[in-house]
Structure 1
Amino acid sequence: MTKSIIYLLITLFMSAIAMVSSQNIVVAQTLPQQIQYQELLSLYEQGLDSIIIQQYSTPTSEAEYYYLASSYLRLGDYNQALIYFSSLIKILNSEESIWWNIEAGLARAKILFYLDNHSTALEQAYALSIHSSSTEDQKNRAAIFVEDILGYLSPADLVQLLTDIYPVQLKASILEELVYTIPYGLANSLFSDVEQLAEKSGESNNITLSRLKQQLSVPVQYQNRYDPLKQYSIPDGFHYRLGVLLPMYSLDDPRYTVVQDLYKGMSFAAEEFNANTPDAKFFLIYKSTSDTASRNRELSVQKSNSNHFAHTQFSSMVISDRVNAVIGPLYSNEAPSYAPLAEEYDTPLFLPLANADSLDLHNNYMFQVNPSFSSQGARLARYAVENLGYDTLGIIAEQGSLGEAAARSFLRESERLGAFVAYNFVENLEEQGYGITDFTKYFTTDTLDSVTIVDAVYAPFTGTIAQTLIESLLTDLEAMRSTIDILGSEEWGGVNINASRLPETNIYFSRGFAVDTTQSKTQLFASSYKERYGDYPTNFSYIGFDVAYYVMRELYSAKNPKALKNKIKKSSAYKGHAFTINFRNTHVNSSVFIQHIPSFQTTDEQN
């Protein structure tokens, strides 16, 4: 549905309300008898919206119009809900119709609020709160919705609303919501404007204005209570919309299951969050990051088209779908096309798997859930020095690889903590045919050799050459009968050292995520997931769940999405199934898993 049609429906609503007012109805409403539509009400209370939409697609009564529209609203289909609520507002068959008109008006105001048309939503809700045809219950609910709207909006939004043409009482309520969140001078100036308007309209005795005058009477007291960080609230049943940007693959592509499992994990998170959060609801809005039209074109053309495609997808999500935050894209090479758009549209972007250090661009709206290689290097350095007590270390890494950033970070953090890095070899190891004995000879533990003995060597090997370099390092250490420990990247997790090879060597490696299937909460999740989808979750299912649930948790806590990016940097750690997420006043997740492959000597001692 186009915007013009939506605005037409809004106009029809306002006309219908005006028509009800023009009839000067002052008699009490006749409230509907629920017994007349008990079956329909039962379906609605059970949440069977799809059945209602199927069975009552051609409504004939006010109740059928209302619950059909409400079912569409509950499913997040605002356009269809608008159509049926607008049709209901035009029905004026009896005194019962008036009750349905007002209920439809309240629902319409809520839809306008979800569509970010806060000004019109506020105007309509306030009108219904004082409307002569509204029951006391309807007036109270409309008044509460007015308060909810004001509690949700930011101080900047509220100041902007004061420029609109509203009744004095509504302007006074807006200003009352602003008090102590804006500087005293601005508050006093805005109060003077509203006070003058009240004098002109003969409403100088307004109670709310009297309270405001008292609050502004002592500047020092106002300054002591001034806090620009507003505590937001949301209307009951608030809808959040979470965008998901993932690539699209054919069914025979092995990457298809990765994306599928990620999205199933996210969907499962939304279902679980919605089931446990009755006063808010999350919807997922998916769009593809795969621009199939430009795949076979020249590289320069592909890059230009990629940026244009990213802008199309992201802007569509924010403007048309009105998402509050976005999860994705998936890969590090896609992220640079989307990161500037997050800042342009003030919409936080959460990268679930991308972990390249080149993404660490201090973008206020981009959050890297998978810790960068630099983060992992620094964390492993702290663990080595503070937990393992190492004070003399060595480094070997492939130049130009992702591991180089980890090595640099490891070096800085180790030295900052007082450790001595005796050897720092960041070289083009691939060019030398992976023969690394020129470097590994320094990692001996033979005291007869004239070298500085290190406690451990950090070897963050990554990419396709990782396993070859790992094997070369192990072979050289074995030949020297070295007993130093090894610190490494995630690729070291697959190493299998037999008892005779390096019996005294411990291996410690970092990972951005890890799933512990021995935990009861993870086992319960796996069981519920299998019941829902027919298969047990993969690592990507857990990752999708954790990232989505974390964003939902933070959005729900922030209330207003505009407060999300600042709240995330200060929020407590989220301990999920795969990730521990803690941004610690940055935009890169600082929580890294350190895993240990014990030496055979250690294992024997423990046994």
Structure 2
Amino acid sequence: MRLILLLVITLFTNVSFAQQTVADIKSFENALQMYDNGQFQQAIVYFRSDQSPVSQLFLAKSYFALGQNSEAEIIAKRLSNLQDIEIQLEANYLQSLIFIGKKQFVEAINLLSRTLLLSENYNNSILRDISELQHKLIAYLSFNQRLTAIRSVDDENIRNKIVLDYYSDYPQAQATRLLEELMRIDSSLNLSGHLRRASSQKINVNNRYKREYPTGNIINMGVLLPSFARSANDKSVSRGLYNGLLISVDEFNRTNTDRKIKLHYLDSDEIKNNLRSGLQRAIDELNIDVIVGPLFSEQVEDLSTFVDRLAIPFIAPLANTFDISGGHDFILQINPSFESRGRQTARIAINSLKLHNFGVMTEKGTHGETDATAFAEEVTK
């Protein structure tokens, strides 16, 4: 969470505080301390009662920190129309983060571009943050998001940057398509050299998962698991996985100041009869960035093609009856398939343990048979 102390110190000397008493300023300092300590609800009580621009700015930031983006956006839009350049910059930065959270990447890029253009003669540390946010956002775009962006961004320099700085990260066909689309939009561009380089690229693995989510925002993580009751024995696997995620997310949020994770529990039992539409509705309403689940292999397999269309990473924590992740860009399978286990066990036996003679026994018709068959195939190569 950005806290520009220089901005606050400057604003104390501005007109916005000229009419305020010492007690008012002391109250603001106390509220600011609450904000700095993460006590956003308490800070909101004061900020909401004070209509000065700086208090309203921190009111918007407090709402944003609590995930109440609609309230934050209303205030930020109003503040962006003020004449105070420092307030404008902060408000536009906050609006951009809100756009990113809603997956409105083009809107965020355009707002950041306009902000940098309007304040090009102004020297403030927040401009570096705005420029860095724009850079990280452009770097984060997936292939399809990149195509959408170049068709809609206002700044032609940014449009060119979206393609020319990043097409080399993509396989040949995708790199070529990006360049051709850019030339279709702006026929004055001579990209023959770039096209030659793109046509010779030998990248075979799509690197979308190397993207880094822009800092300063909340990552909305859906947890798609069967519901469980208060009883400790009720669906212990589901309960244990969810509790583990809660603890991990709490630790992550305590140790990371530049990004936070917000968990959203999605009851797979509740939407199991229409899993796809239920997921789509949850993703649209909650702006989900990544989903952990579902629990069972059959559900993951059923969702696999749908997940690719959603373009949201699904982390399958337990699914292991087959190789789900192969051929699906957005499914990350943590638990290896039984076949993979068998082959890897064989490699360890041969390469690490230096064994040469093997005997394999297994129960027919079980997952163990799949494991054993793969083991036998690997050691007899």
- TM-score normalised per structure 2: 0.75
How far 1:110 sits from its partner (Å)? 1.9
Distance (whole Å) between structure 2 residues aligned to residue 118 and residue 223 of structure 1:
25
Give a deviation string over 1:466-512, Cα, whole Å, max 9, x none.
xxxxxxxxxxxxxxxxxxxxxxxxxxxxxxxxxxxxxxxxxxxxxxx
Matched, 1:142 2:130: yes
- Residue 39 of structure 1 is matched in structure 2 by 30
Distance (whole Å) between structure 1 residues aligned to residue 178 and residue 326 of structure 2:
35
- Residue 270 of structure 1 is matched in structure 2 by 249
How far 1:118 sits from its partner (Å)? 1.3
How far 1:266 sits from its partner (Å)? 1.0
Matched, 1:118 2:105: yes
Matched, 1:247 2:210: no
Aligned to 2:379, which of 414, 418, 435? 414
Decide whether aligned partners of structure 1 residues 271 and 249 sit closer, same or farther in structure 2, where only a CA change above 3 A counts: closer
Matched, 1:400 2:379: no
Matched, 1:86 2:77: yes
How far 1:248 sits from its partner (Å)? 0.9
Matched, 1:164 2:152: yes
Distance (whole Å) between structure 2 residues aligned to residue 367 and residue 195 of structure 1:
40
Q: Which amino acid aligns with 2:340?
A: S
Distance (whole Å) between structure 2 residues aligned to residue 170 and residue 67 of structure 1:
30
Q: Which amino acid aligns with 1:280?
A: R
SS class of match (1:245) = strand
SS class of match (1:142) = helix
Tell me if structure 2 keeps the 8 A contact 1:152–1:234.
yes
Q: Which amino acid aligns with 1:65?
A: Q
- Residue 182 of structure 2 is matched in structure 1 by 190
Distance (whole Å) between structure 1 residues aligned to residue 277 and residue 196 of structure 2:
50
How far 1:31 sits from its partner (Å)? 4.6
How far 1:129 sits from its partner (Å)? 1.3
Q: Which amino acid aligns with 2:52?
A: S
Decide whether aligned partners of structure 1 residues 219 and 165 sit closer, same or farther in structure 2, where only a CA change above 3 A counts: closer
Distance (whole Å) between structure 2 residues aligned to residue 360 and residue 132 of structure 1:
46
SS class of match (1:285) = strand
Aligned to 1:152, which of 132, 140, 145? 140
Tell me if structure 2 keeps the 8 A contact 1:339–1:349.
no
Distance (whole Å) between structure 1 residues aligned to residue 177 and residue 340 of structure 2:
45
Decide whether aligned partners of structure 1 residues 134 and 81 sit closer, same or farther in structure 2, where only a CA change above 3 A counts: farther
How far 1:61 sits from its partner (Å)? 2.8
- Residue 18 of structure 2 is matched in structure 1 by none
Matched, 1:75 2:66: yes
How far 1:382 sits from its partner (Å)? 4.1
Distance (whole Å) between structure 2 residues aligned to residue 391 and residue 328 of structure 1:
40
Distance (whole Å) between structure 2 residues aligned to residue 235 and residue 129 of structure 1:
18
Distance (whole Å) between structure 1 residues aligned to residue 120 and residue 193 of structure 2:
42
Q: Which amino acid aligns with 2:90?
A: E
- Residue 491 of structure 1 is matched in structure 2 by none
Aligned to 2:313, which of 333, 343, 348? 348
Distance (whole Å) between structure 2 residues aligned to residue 273 and residue 156 of structure 1:
30
Q: Which amino acid aligns with 1:44?
A: Y
SS class of match (1:130) = helix
Higher Cα Rg: structure 1 or 2?
1
Tell me if structure 2 keeps the 8 A contact 1:129–1:140.
no
- Residue 49 of structure 1 is matched in structure 2 by 40
Tell me if structure 2 keeps the 8 A contact 1:314–1:341.
no
Greater helix content: 2
Tell me if structure 1 keeps the 8 A contact 2:325–2:332.
no
Tell me if structure 1 keeps the 8 A contact 2:276–2:306.
yes
What 5-or-longer segments of structure 2 have no aligned partner? Answer: 1-8, 14-21
- Residue 539 of structure 1 is matched in structure 2 by none
Distance (whole Å) between structure 2 residues aligned to residue 218 and residue 371 of structure 1:
43
Tell me if structure 1 keeps the 8 A contact 2:224–2:291.
yes
- What does 1:157-236 align with in structure 2 at a 5 Å threshold? 157-164=145-152, 166-174=154-162, 176-178=164-166, 180=168, 187=179, 190=182, 194=186, 196=188, 222=197, 232=211, 234-236=213-215
Q: Which amino acid aligns with 1:356?
A: T
Distance (whole Å) between structure 1 residues aligned to residue 327 and residue 200 of structure 2:
33
Decide whether aligned partners of structure 1 residues 385 and 140 sit closer, same or farther in structure 2, where only a CA change above 3 A counts: closer
Decide whether aligned partners of structure 1 residues 162 and 357 sit closer, same or farther in structure 2, where only a CA change above 3 A counts: closer
Decide whether aligned partners of structure 1 residues 134 and 242 sit closer, same or farther in structure 2, where only a CA change above 3 A counts: farther
